[in-house]
Structure 1
Amino acid sequence: MSSIAEVGRMERELSRVDRLSEDIHFPPELLLEILLWLPSKTLLKFRSVCRIWCSFIDSSNFISLHLNCYNYDYSQKSIDHLIAIQRIVDVGCFFTIRSSDRLNTVADLAELAEPYSISGNCNGLILLNYGWNAVRLWNPSIRKSLFLPDCPIKLRWSRIRRCHVTYTLGFSRSSNDYKVLAVKTNLPSYSDDKAYIAVYSLADHLWRVKPNPVSVSKWAISWLSPEGGLVCCGGVVYWVDNDLHRKPGAYMKLYLYDFDVEEFSVMQLPDAVKESTHRLIFAHGDSLAVLLMSSESICIWVLKKDGGENPWRLWFKGEPHLNASKLFECANVVYCKNSNTFLLNNNLATMSYDIANNQIRILKEKDMMNFRISFQTYVESLVLHKGFGETITLFL
């Protein structure tokens, strides 16, 4: 569950509800406990029970508690579910919910004519991107989406200079707000070494352009992309500079963007990275983790929430599988915490890697050459279920 302070606020709110309504014939703490364990679509139906229940379910405190309780407590006893996006040439894309153990389809979500891609995933919200400026937030658990206003740092194409905009999604805990970071860089060369920044706020439904551009090379922004191993957790987006042409030791740095203060910064990876031949960052619950692999061992280090002089703790160490190094060259890697396995996807098949038992299993082989499939973690959430008027659309 979330913090004790949040629980206390919700219980006080329920106590007021109990005094105001004679229709509630059981303790408010019990009502809170029941509602927190219900899926999002059921809660949307329960909003029609009465006006008091509706305002209670709509409160930001309840939405935060439900996100943590339903997904992270309940999921300890269940199988991870994944969002699968299947893009087919000249057809569009299909979204489904799959089980992580066998990739069986649990539910069909949507079918779109445009080949959207997933640019971010945070607390049940999916950031979808198509083309230059078609960006939308989507909550798959309640089938609703929101188109973002046009990003103010637009692309300008010419024969001399080409531009590229990267989008990523995060959450600001201090303001309880979801934000989208847009970064524009110049391609193919970074002669001016400048990246132009804009930040979208879901609470305001507006973009803000950051006045001062930042250095592309200093913050390794060329690797700021989902394909480059972008990971969002705890209100921060992390990435690693994997450019082998940089100075020795550059690969030991971990770059991050904090959505609370809206600033870039850098920190060191664990010292064990010096002996590793492969490295991968991923979300381990609400914390960041890094997998380091060498010919002799495979280790997982988890970033401590309180930081300190030694911010990394060793969480796992074992012997690597003979073919494990090839697996982590895959474009799409997802960690399934409940089963302690990695789901890996390449052009030929989707596989799982159980690091504890040192087993690799092929879950599904590709049966078509003209489509790509990738996966993201699926989380139940009530975000986007109300507000924004007609700008919220059903996403069926």
Structure 2
Amino acid sequence: MIYLDYQATTPLAPEAREAMLAWLGGPESGTFGNPHSPHRMGRAAAAAVELAREQVAALFPPGGQVIFTGSATEALNLAIRCNTPVRAGEHTAFSAIEHAAVIDTVKAIGNWTELPVGPNGVIAPDVEMPKYVGLLCVMQVNNEIGTIQPIADMARRAKETGALLLVDGVQAAGKMALPQQADMIAVSAHKLHGPKGIGALWVRDGLSLTPHIEGGGQEQGLRSGTLSPALCAGFGAAAKLAVERRDEDAGHVEQLWHIARDAFSGWTLNGSAEHRWHGNLNIRKDGLDVARLMSECREVMFSAGSACASGSGRTSHVLRAIGLSDAQAKSSIRLGWGRYTTREGMQRACKLIIQAAESQA
């Protein structure tokens, strides 16, 4: 099996697994304490959580606090729903290629403005920014087509109108520097070789949010509920590893990018070739039956679009936003790779996909 769906999830790092196992002990282990309890076992669990918080904080710029959540989706909801400017009725602006966790949440609240992107999947520098925007939501690296947004420019424009900047950093965390200009940044552990079921929201110092979940006052009073030391420890270990291996991982990803680009040289790239994370290849071939392709390439795990929308039958809103027709969008595939993808695996996967595609001619 060759796994090329890193945008959907990543393999759990062995180091993260080991860190989690230490906090999944049985009754004789002494490692099952509630991190919010005052006794010795509780304090030990709390210390593990705070170590993990420090490790995760290293992913972010200085000058902020990390709030653990159950997912990046929850982190984005916390940032959007519990943000004073939004609650006051000002508009929230977002790019047309944001994740559904942003788009659906903003539209559920109301008072929103969608900012278009160009055919390259990047917000144009001269896009009009309404003056009544209180919150601007921009994804650093798009999960479907891998394009990188001009965060620094968007931050400058947000500040000119007095808006706060929320960055979806899920696909960027651990791979590149997260933006210093942001006011809030959401990330997910399982997109950087950590466990599923935990994410985080980084909040700039001095910024106040209203509570998201009431009932116990945990997580600085914003998100009540008992934290899982095991999930926190796994997240922390994965974050620490990502920081330590960032250059090494990036170099490996770059080598795999060239293998894939050379193999699919006759296919059309969706989105910018320049402003792009090279661990994402979203490509299309006119007339391609993607459902048949996936059925015939069972050895290769890849995506026909965003994992969150797979099986829905809907055309990707991201591919529509960059101007693709329904037929072009439905003839597109997404390949994603990373730390544990081998050169041999990439070469074989490309060969299998191309052979299956050519058999449809």
Question: TM-score, structure 1 length as denominator?
Answer: 0.29
Q: TM-score, normalised by structure 2?
A: 0.31
Between structure 1 and structure 2, the one with the greater Rg is 1
The structure with more helix, counted as a fraction of residues: 2
